[in-house]
Amino acid sequence: MIMSEHVTGSIVVGVDGSASSDAALDWAASQAAAEGLPLILLTAVSTPAPRSAAWLTAHGIDERRLRVQLKEEARALLRRCDRRVHETHPDLVVEHDVRCEDARDALLDADAGLLVVGTRGLGSVSRLLLGSVASTVVKHGTSPTVVVRSDGPSGTGGGVVVGIAGDAGDTAAVDLAFRIASARGLTLTAFHSFWDVVGADEERDIARDEPGYDDQWELVAGAVASAAARHPDVPVRHRLSRGFADERLLRASRGADLLVVGHRRKPFLSELVYGSVAPHLVEHAHCSVAVVPYREQVSPAED
């Protein structure tokens, strides 16, 4: 079935027939089944641009027939994915969505309660010039996005690690982390890393009884208190570390099932020069990563 609008709160997974998209499909299906939500299978067909019609005709290729064939192959892919899902989750509500546009645009336009994509490695030059689909969605998307790693361990039992930044973006990231941990029966670690004037060899975790860090521990506890009260089934651990946030979170991702972080969009040039924590973690973390976009609050006077 081709859909024009997604069900509010549905889980949307991008599929393209690759091993990485199959891993994303399996993760999304298990999450949708656990939460009782519909699953939308989305694939994109990059049909020939109008300016290519003359070239195709000159080479004996029926452009209209080619478009029809590409769409039918996309529908066949979705039927295969549908069968894969229902082998494990026979009662799950699954819908199909075929988009005739670039995959990046299709995923960015998806009205998803939760968007799930796979990731494949690219060389540094290719990543800089073209960007992976996952990287583009993470940097520019407005939906919470889970990037499932097909080359890393899954179901390791390390639970969900959520990065606490100490700002207004924490609430949405923490809520998603608890939501996933509760649905999957996982533990949750609230992780905060702060930087002060220390040498590289002084980057380390802080023991709970170490003096001088009460304010930092209170920040961590306060960030998750409300969500923890709503999810008493989720065991919660607080973890405090000193050092650069991206490097400490990468270390924390070892053995975890999922790393959850917030993301504030930056101007293109700023992100190109200085980078951004969330895209860096998506590329280098040792587990799957969920990125929750930070939505700026607009005052009534600015509306």
| Ordered domains of the chain (ranges, CATH) | 11-149 (3.40.50.620), 160-302 (3.40.50.620)
Residue 30 has pLDDT above 80, yes or no: yes
Token pair 């024009």: residue: 4
Q: At what angle do helices 245-252 and 277-284 cross, to 10 degrees?
A: 30
Q: How confident is the model at residue 127 (pLDDT cuts 50, 70, 90)?
A: very low
Residue 17 has pLDDT above 50, yes or no: yes
Across residues 266-294, what is the average pLDDT? 71
Tokens for 210, please give them: 């170490």
Sequence-distant (6+) residues with CB within 8 A of 12 are 6, 28, 39, 40, 42, 97, 107, 110, 112, 114, 115, 116, 143
Helix (H) or strand (E) segment spanning residue 260:
strand 258-263
Across residues 60-65, what is the average pLDDT? 60
Instruction: Say which DSSP state 79 is in.
Output: H
Rounded-to-5 percentages of helix, strand, coil across the chain: 45, 20, 35
Q: How confident is the model at residue 197 (pLDDT cuts 50, 70, 90)?
A: low
Q: What is the sign of the dihedral through the CA atoms of 171, 177, 181 and 184?
A: positive
- For the chain, state the CA radius of gyration: 21
Residue 203 has pLDDT above 70, yes or no: yes
Q: What is the pLDDT of residue 288?
A: 93
Phi first, then psi, for residue 14 (nearest 5°) are -85, 130
Tokens for 301, please give them: 């006077």
Distance (Å, whole) CA 7 – CA 29 = 16
Helix (H) or strand (E) segment spanning residue 107:
helix 103-109
Pairing of strands 145-149, 288-293: antiparallel
Instruction: Find, among 178, 190, 158, the residue nearest to 256 by Cα.
Output: 158
Is residue 143 within 8 Å of residue 295, measured between CB atoms?
no
Largest CA distance in the chain: 77
Instruction: Find, among 151, 122, 152, the residue nearest to 134 by Cα.
Output: 122
Q: How confident is the model at residue 191 (pLDDT cuts 50, 70, 90)?
A: very high
Is residue 290 within 8 Å of residue 146, measured between CB atoms?
yes
Among 82-91, 226-235, 251-260, 286-295, where is mean pLDDT lowest?
286-295
Q: How confident is the model at residue 302 (pLDDT cuts 50, 70, 90)?
A: very low
Q: At what angle do helices 214-230 and 170-184 cross, to 10 degrees?
A: 50
Count helices and strands (H / E) in the chain: 11, 11
Torsion region of 212: left, alpha or beta (phi above 0 gives left; psi -120 to 50 gives alpha): left
Residue 185 has pLDDT above 90, yes or no: yes
CA distances from residue 54 to 59, 64, 84 in whole angstroms, order as listed = 9, 12, 40
Residue 12 has pLDDT above 90, yes or no: yes
**2-11, 53-62, 291-300: range with highest mean pLDDT:** 291-300
